[in-house]
Amino acid sequence: MAEQFDLIVIGAGPGGYVAAIRASQLGMKVAVVEKRPTLGGVCLNEGCIPSKALLDSSEQFALARDTFALHGIEIEPPRLNLAVMLARKDDLVKKLTDGVAYLFKKNNIKLFSGTARLIRPDEDGLNQVVVEQVFHLNFPNGEQQPVEAPLQLKAPRVLLATGSAPIPLPTIPFDGEIVVSAREALSFPQVPEHLVVAGGGYIGLELGSVWRRLGARVTVLEMLPTLLPTMDRQMSDVLRRLLKKQGVDIKLGARVSGLRRLGNKALVQFSQEGESSELDCDRLLVAIGRRPLLDGLGFEELGGTLTEQGRMVVDADYQTTIPGVYAVGDLIPGPMLAHKASEEGITCVERMSARQTSVNYDALPGVVYTWPEGASVGKTEEQLKDASVPYRTGKFNFMANGRARAMGEIEGFVKVLAHAETDSILGVHIIGPRASELIAEAVTALQSGVTARQLGMQFHAHPTLSEALKEAALAIHNEAIHG
């Protein structure tokens, strides 16, 4: 007999596990189906968290090698122990995934490890999910206990949160050795001699930065005329200049066309400005984008509708065209960001409980964790010009910020865009030290409808990096003190 729940969540990534916890808090009986042996999805296991662990470790290594002497710290040239660095990354991932398992136990969420597939509703109209390769995680000791498969679950509502997978190059499939995705690039057993990165987006630039800091030669091939095409153009140009200064070779307008294996190495074939070229490398990281994971879900077989881009069509409640079936995160339109998925998951289950919450997509931040970091929220100048929105710009360089000077991190700027008539903040763009943290204040300001003048009037402790945001806001009205 099928076990019945109030909500079945398929996928335990940042959209699914957060939604499950919130649903339990709201009094629902919740089941989660996850095919991985660990919780947290791509983000915790092979994305956001392990990549940031390596970014921080490689940053520490580069600081010791390149800048300690400038601070009067004299040390022997640092030696890299890659095995220890990777072990630290893996330990961090385990601690966080174990933490999610603890939260499931704390919130009485029943977890099934296996692959899930939607089938037609039963005679009472309840949605049905068949789970294969089933294990029921037996808390409190955490051991997996096999359950007879296939297992059938029922609920009036099912939330799909299966995430996404990397897209291969059309003629160059992943092989996990030379042609790799981000998953493999997080665990190279040795520093590559030459890493070629196909794709100048967030993932490619971050992982390229990691291995460049650790000693690899890195070449980025981006088919578009700019890095990070959704980013503010000035930020993109500054980031390109600084990455090149760090030794990353960036080729724009470069389209990868083929690959020829040469033993443990390869020749990457690409075209640029109408001319064909080849690059020898020992690793090719393909980071050209991701696709929603729909395989085996049974969504289309039940009549679910997809957009032209292959995302699930949902309404304001995140309900798909199948009654009682919902979707969030990478499965639906919008940027493929973990924090977007989490907010959508929370909002989705709250709306199931008649709470009329919503996600303000205009205040959705994006961050690239290079060195320096880049962070944005709201509209870019290019978007405002295209929409004929009147705006003013306030800009402040970190070179004039006391804390940035003390840190020795003077590259970059803060740019605030405000409506020319109402002074409401339309966008904030930061490239510089700890931009990922500084953007939070900008998100709050944009979300709360704060004007540029009001932001410029707020106390900002001195000396801090956040003063650069205050000064940029003041610069909207030519009132910056230090600019």
Instruction: Give yes or no for a contact between 378 and 425, defined as CB atoms under 8 angstroms apart.
Output: yes
Asked if the model's pLDDT at residue 142 lies above 70, the reply is no
For residues 286 and 166, is the Cβ–Cβ distance under 8 A?
A: yes
The pLDDT, as a whole number, for residue 285 is 98
Residue 402 pLDDT grade (very low, low, confident, very high; cuts 50, 70, 90): very high
Provide CB contacts within 8 A for 34, sequence distance 6+: 11, 12, 16, 111, 112, 113
Position of tokens 């398929």? Answer: 10
Q: Would the CATH topology of 3-46+89-165+291-359 be identical to that of 363-475?
A: no
Q: What is the pLDDT of residues 205-224, one digit of tens each?
A: 999 999 999 999 999 999 99
User: How many angstroms from the chain centroid is the CA of residue 71?
Assistant: 33
Q: Going by C-beta distance under 8 Å and a sequence separation of 6 or more, which residues neighbour residue 320?
A: 160, 299, 304, 305, 312, 313, 314, 326, 327
- Confidence at residue 147, expressed as pLDDT on a 0 to 100 scale: 58
pTM: 0.94
Residue extents of the structural domains in the chain: 3-46+89-165+291-359, 179-288, 363-475
pLDDT of residue 275: 93
Specify the pLDDT at position 146.
Answer: 57
Q: At the topology level of CATH, where does 179-288 sit?
A: FAD/NAD(P)-binding domain (3.50.50)
In this predicted model, what pLDDT tens digit does every residue of 268-314 receive, in sequence order? 999 999 899 999 999 999 999 999 999 999 999 999 999 999 999 99
* Gap between the Cα atoms of 367 and 361, Å rounded: 15
- Closest Cα to residue 268, out of 176, 166, 177, 178? 178
Q: Where are the alpha helices (DSSP H) in 283-337?
A: none
What is the model's pLDDT at position 460? 97
Q: Rg of the Cα trace of the chain? A: 24
Supply the pLDDT for residue 2.
82
pLDDT at site 132? 87
Report pLDDT for 144.
55
What local confidence, expressed as pLDDT, does residue 136 receive? 52
- In 10 A of CB 357, how many CB atoms? 12
Spell out the residues 6+ positions from residue 473 whose beta carbon is closer than 8 angstroms to its own.
394, 416, 418, 425, 452, 453, 455, 456
Peptide bond into 150 cis (omega under 30): yes
Residues in Cβ contact with 477 at an 8 Å cutoff, skipping those fewer than 6 apart: 392, 394, 452, 453, 456
Q: What is the 3-class SS of 344-400, one letter each residue?
A: HHHHHHHHHCCCCCCCCHHHCCEEECCCCEEEEEECCHHHHHHCCCCEEEEEEEHHH
Q: How is residue 432 written in tokens?
A: 């510089």
Nearest to 326 by CA among 163, 157, 111, 164: 157
- Coil vs helix vs strand at 29: coil
CA angle (137 as vertex; 132, 138 as ends), nearest 5: 140
Long-range interactions of 115-119: CB distance < 8 A, separation 24+:
115/33, 115/35, 115/296, 116/8, 116/10, 116/33, 116/35, 116/297, 117/296, 117/297, 117/298, 118/158, 118/297, 118/298, 118/299, 118/301, 118/302, 118/322, 118/325, 119/298, 119/302
Q: Name the average pLDDT for the chain.
A: 94
360-384 average pLDDT score: 97
Asked whether the beta carbons of 206 and 374 are under 8 A apart, the reply is no
Q: What is the pLDDT of residue 34?
A: 95
The answer, yes or no, to whether residue 133 has pLDDT greater than 80, is: no
pLDDT at 479 exceeding the cut of 60: yes
Residue 200 CB neighbours (<10 A):
29
Clarify whether 462 is annotated catalytic: yes
- 150 vs 97, residue with greater confidence: 97
Question: What band does 483 get if pLDDT is binned at 50, 70 and 90?
Answer: confident
Cα 332 from Cα 339, distance rounded (Å): 14
Which of 194, 462, 477, 482 is catalytic? The answer is: 462
DSSP state for residue 289 in the 8-state scheme: -
User: Does 135 have pLDDT greater than 90?
Assistant: no
For 48-56, what is the mean pLDDT?
97
Quote the CA–CA distance of 211 and 192 in Å, as a whole number. 8
pLDDT at 123: 86
Spacing of C-alpha 159 from chain mean position: 21
In this prediction, residue 124 carries a pLDDT of 85
160 beta partners: 10, 327
Q: Which fold has domain 3-46+89-165+291-359?
A: FAD/NAD(P)-binding domain (3.50.50)
pLDDT at 431 over 70: yes
Q: What is the chain's length?
A: 483
* Residue 145 confidence class, pLDDT cut points 50, 70, 90: low
- The pLDDT, as a whole number, for residue 125 is 87
73: three-class secondary structure by DSSP: coil
Say yes or no to pLDDT of 470 above 90.
yes
CA pair distance 89, 292, nearest whole angstrom: 26
pLDDT at 66 over 50: yes
Helix or strand or coil: residue 409? coil
**Using alpha carbons only, what angle is made at residue 230 by residues 274 and 239, rounded to the nearest 5 degrees?**
80
Q: What does the pLDDT average to over 34-44?
A: 94
Q: What angle in degrees, to the nearest 10, is found between the helix axes of 202-213 and 48-66?
A: 40
285 to each of 281, 291, 477, how far by Cα in Å? Answer: 10, 17, 45
In the structure encoding, which two tokens stand for residue 57, read together? Answer: 């470790």
Instruction: With cut-offs at 50, 70 and 90, classify the pLDDT of residue 140.
Output: very low
CATH class of 363-475: alpha beta
